[in-house]
C-alpha cells in the first residue's frame, strides 16, 4: 500500500480543501481535519478507512457541504471529499440511474431528464450531493406520495468503517443497506448509488395558493395529500403586514397542450384567497431549478455565506395547527420575519420506509423547517438561536414531534438514544459490526 500521505490532497489544492472541510453551510462550528482525501475511487476511500480505523482516527465524507452543525467534519481525522466521484449513468431500459456519491442532484436530474425520466423524489436544493442526501433520507415536493429519496435506492456501493468495500441492496447485505439509508453516515460511507426512476413530465403548471390562517392551509394541504390531485406539494409560511403570517401552498401538476389541466377541478374547492392565486406554466426542468434564483440572490447579498442556525422537525399534522403559530409568535423567532424562510412540507407516514428515518407514528405529518440567517459578526446571537432551537425541539417532543437531523442542534448520545427509540438497538448492533472502531461521521455525536 502507498503511504497515507500519497492519498491525500496535493499541496497546491490542500489549503483550499482543508479550509472547505473545516466549515459547512451552517458556518457555526468548524474544525480542521488532519487531511482531506479528494477521492477518485472507492479503493482510495477503502485504503484511507483501513488506515484510520485501527488508529481510531475519525473519518467523515463531504459532498455538497450543506451540513448545518459540523455533522460532516472530522476533528483530528480525515475528510473524504466525494466531489470527484460524480459520474452519472442512466439506463433508460430498466429505468435506473447509477451515480457516484459526489454527484450533485443537478447532475442526477439533468442526466435522467435527458432520457425523459426522473427520480421519484428530488430534494429542492440541487447543489446537495447524492451521498449526503441519502445519508439523511431526503425529502422533496413529491414526498407526500413517494416518501424519501432513500426509499427509491436499488443498490449501494459503500465502504464500511471496518474498511470493506461492499455492495448492498434489499437482497445483498440487507442489514447494511438499512443501516446506511438515512443512517447519518454511522456504519459506512456511500461510494455509489443506483436509483429507480419514473417517467418525468415535460411541463408542469404551478399554483401558489395563499391562506391567511394556518388552519385552512393545513385543511387544504391534507386534502391535496389524500386525493393526490397534484404531483408536487410543498408550502411556506411568509411574513405579512401587521406582524401576522401568510401560508402559501405551492402545488404542481403535469400539464401539456394535449393533456391540459383543469384549473377549476384542481383548485376550485380549496380554501385559499381567490384574489392572490399565482398560476405559471414551466418546463419540469425549470420547476426543479426553482431555488437557483434565490440562491443567486442570497449569494449576491452575502446571506448565503452567513451562519444558518436552521431547525427541522417532523410533527404530527394535528399538532402543527397550534405548534407552528406558537413558534412563530415566540420573540426568539422574530428574525424569521426579515432573514429567513419557514417551510412546511406535508408527508404521509406510510410512504416513509427507511427504518432509520425516525418519525411520529401518525399517518399525516408535517416537516417544519426554520431556515434562518444570523448576523455574521455576532457569535452571541448565533448561540442564542442555537439554544432557541433546543427549546423548540423540546416543545416539539412534548407534542409527539421528532427531530430531522439536518439541523443546527447539539445532541448528546442520550438525546440520540431517545431519538432513535426502538431502532437504537439495531443501529448500535450495525455500528459494532460495520464500524467497530467508531470512526465514521462523529460530527453528529451519537456515541460517547
Ligand X SMILES: Cc1cc2nc3c(=O)[nH]c(=O)nc-3n(C[C@H](O)[C@H](O)[C@H](O)COP(=O)(O)OP(=O)(O)OC[C@H]3O[C@@H](n4cnc5c(N)ncnc54)[C@H](O)[C@@H]3O)c2cc1C
- Quick check: 128 binds ligand X (CB under 6 A)? yes
- Contact pattern from residue 47 through residue 76 relative to ligand X, giving x for each residue in contact according to CB under 6 A and a dash for the rest: -------------xxxxxxxx---xx----
Q: Find the binder of ligand X among 7, 22, 23, 25 (CB under 6 A).
A: 25
User: Which residue, 194 or 261, has its beta carbon nearer to ligand X?
Assistant: 194
Q: Which of residues 348-407 bind ligand X (CB under 6 A)?
A: 406
Q: How far is CA 97 from CA 100, 140, 155, 405, in A?
A: 10, 18, 10, 27
DSSP 109-177: HHHHHTTTEE-SS--S-TTSBHHHHHHH----TTHHHH--GGGGEEEEEEEETTS-EEEEESSSSHHHH
- Given the rule CB under 6 A, which of 121-129, 207-215, 249-257, 332-340 is the region that contacts ligand X? 121-129
User: Which residue, 246 or 407, has its beta carbon nearer to ligand X?
Assistant: 407
Q: Report in angstroms how near the CB of residue 198 gets to ligand X at its nearest.
A: 18
Q: Report in angstroms how near the CB of residue 149 gets to ligand X at its nearest.
A: 7
d(CA 43, CA 298): 38
d(CA 280, CA 263): 11
Q: Report in angstroms how near the CB of residue 45 gets to ligand X at its nearest.
A: 9
Residue 410 burial (C-beta neighbours within 10 Å; 0-12, 13-18, 19+): middle
- Quick check: 164 binds ligand X (CB under 6 A)? no
User: Which residue, 113 or 352, has its beta carbon nearer to ligand X?
Assistant: 352
Q: Find the binder of ligand X among 139, 152, 287, 393 (CB under 6 A).
A: 139
Q: Find the binder of ligand X among 9, 96, 111, 135 (CB under 6 A).
A: 135
d(CA 369, CA 213): 18
Q: Report in angstroms how near the CB of residue 134 gets to ligand X at its nearest.
A: 7
- Quick check: 24 binds ligand X (CB under 6 A)? yes
User: Which residue, 195 or 270, has its beta carbon nearer to ligand X?
Assistant: 195
Query: How many Cβ atoms sit within 10 Å of the Cβ of residue 148?
Result: 25
3-state helix, strand, coil in the chain (%, to 5): 40, 25, 35
Q: Which of residues 397-416 bind ligand X (CB under 6 A)?
A: 406
User: Which residue, 35 or 72, has its beta carbon nearer to ligand X?
Assistant: 72
Query: In terms of Cα–Cα distance, which of 5, 71, 82 is closest to 38?
Result: 82
- Quick check: 132 binds ligand X (CB under 6 A)? yes
User: Which residue, 65 or 267, has its beta carbon nearer to ligand X?
Assistant: 65
Residue 298: strand pairing partners? none
- Quick check: 138 binds ligand X (CB under 6 A)? yes
Q: What one-character DSSP code corresponds to residue 243? A: G
Q: Report in angstroms how near the CB of residue 329 gets to ligand X at its nearest.
A: 25
Greatest alpha-carbon pair distance for the chain in Å reads 69
Residue pair 195/152 in contact by the 8 Å Cβ criterion: yes
- Quick check: 186 binds ligand X (CB under 6 A)? no
d(CA 301, CA 311): 22
- Quick check: 120 binds ligand X (CB under 6 A)? no
Q: Find the binder of ligand X among 9, 129, 194, 333 (CB under 6 A).
A: 129
Q: Report in angstroms how near the CB of residue 218 gets to ligand X at its nearest.
A: 20
Q: Find the binder of ligand X among 109, 176, 190, 314 (CB under 6 A).
A: 190
Q: Report in angstroms how near the CB of residue 290 gets to ligand X at its nearest.
A: 11
Q: What are phi and psi of 283, to 5 degrees?
A: -70, 155
| Strands (DSSP E) found in 240-308 | 245-254, 278-283
**Site size for ligand X, by CB under 6 A?**
33
And the C-alpha cell for 140? 422533496
Residues that bind ligand X (CB under 6 A): 24-25, 60-67, 71-72, 82, 101, 123-125, 128-129, 131-133, 135-136, 138-140, 185, 189-190, 406, 441, 443
Amino acid at each position: 500500500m502507498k503511504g497515507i500521505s500519497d492519498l491525500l490532497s496535493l499541496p497546491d489544492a490542500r489549503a483550499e480543501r482543508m479550509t472547505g472541510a473545516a466549515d459547512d453551510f451552517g458556518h457555526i462550528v468548524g474544525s480542521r481535519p488532519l487531511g482531506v482525501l479528494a477521492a477518485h475511487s472507492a479503493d482510495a476511500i477503502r485504503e484511507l478507512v483501513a488506515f484510520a480505523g485501527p488508529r481510531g482516527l475519525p473519518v467523515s465524507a463531504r459532498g455538497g457541504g450543506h451540513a448545518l452543525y459540523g455533522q460532516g467534519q472530522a476533528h483530528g481525522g480525515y475528510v473524504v471529499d466525494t466531489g470527484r466521484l460524480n459520474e452519472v449513468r442512466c439506463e433508460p431500459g430498466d429505468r435506473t440511474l447509477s451515480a457516484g456519491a459526489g454527484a450533485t442532484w443537478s447532475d442526477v436530474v439533468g442526466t435522467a431528464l435527458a432520457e425523459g425520466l426522473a427520480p421519484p423524489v428530488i430534494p429542492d436544493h440541487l447543489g446537495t450531493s447524492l451521498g449526503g442526501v441519502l445519508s439523511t433520507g431526503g425529502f422533496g415536493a413529491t414526498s407526500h406520495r413517494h416518501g424519501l429519496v432513500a426509499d427509491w435506492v436499488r443498490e449501494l456501493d459503500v465502504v464500511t468503517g471496518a474498511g470493506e468495500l461492499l455492495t448492498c441492496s434489499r437482497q445483498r447485505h440487507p442489514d447494511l443497506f438499512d443501516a446506511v439509508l438515512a443512517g447519518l453516515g454511522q456504519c459506512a460511507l456511500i461510494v455509489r448509488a443506483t436509483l429507480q426512476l419514473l417517467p418525468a413530465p415535460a411541463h408542469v403548471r404551478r399554483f401558489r395558493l395563499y391562506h391567511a390562517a394556518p388552519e385552512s392551509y393545513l385543511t387544504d394541504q391534507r386534502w391535496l395529500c389524500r386525493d393526490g390531485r397534484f404531483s408536487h406539494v410543498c408550502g411556506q409560511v411568509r411574513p405579512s403586514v401587521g406582524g401576522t403570517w401568510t401560508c402559501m401552498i405551492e402545488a404542481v401538476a403535469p400539464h401539456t397542450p394535449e393533456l391540459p389541466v383543469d384549473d377549476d377541478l384542481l383548485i376550485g374547492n380549496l380554501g385559499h384567497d381567490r384574489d392572490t392565486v399565482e398560476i405559471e406554466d414551466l418546463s419540469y426542468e425549470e420547476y426543479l431549478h426553482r431555488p437557483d434564483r434565490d440562491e443567486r440572490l442570497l449569494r449576491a447579498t452575502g446571506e448565503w455565506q452567513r451562519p444558518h442556525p436552521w431547525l427541522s422537525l417532523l410533527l404530527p399534522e394535528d399538532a402543527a395547527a397550534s405548534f407552528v403559530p406558537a413558534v412563530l409568535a415566540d420573540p426568539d423567532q422574530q428574525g424569521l420575519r426579515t432573514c429567513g424562510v419557514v417551510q412546511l412540507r406535508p408527508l404521509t407516514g406510510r410512504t416513509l420506509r427507511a427504518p432509520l428515518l425516525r418519525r411520529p407514528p401518525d399517518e399525516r405529518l408535517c416537516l417544519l423547517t426554520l431556515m434562518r440567517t444570523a448576523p455574521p459578526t455576532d457569535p452571541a446571537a448565533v448561540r442564542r438561536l442555537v439554544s432557541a432551537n433546543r427549546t423548540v425541539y423540546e416543545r416539539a417532543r412534548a407534542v409527539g414531534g421528532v427531530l430531522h437531523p439536518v439541523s443546527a442542534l447539539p445532541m448528546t448520545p442520550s438525546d440520540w438514544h431517545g431519538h432513535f427509540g426502538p431502532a437504537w438497538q439495531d443501529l448500535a448492533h450495525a455500528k459494532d459490526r460495520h464500524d467497530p472502531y467508531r470512526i465514521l461521521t462523529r460530527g453528529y455525536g451519537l456515541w460517547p
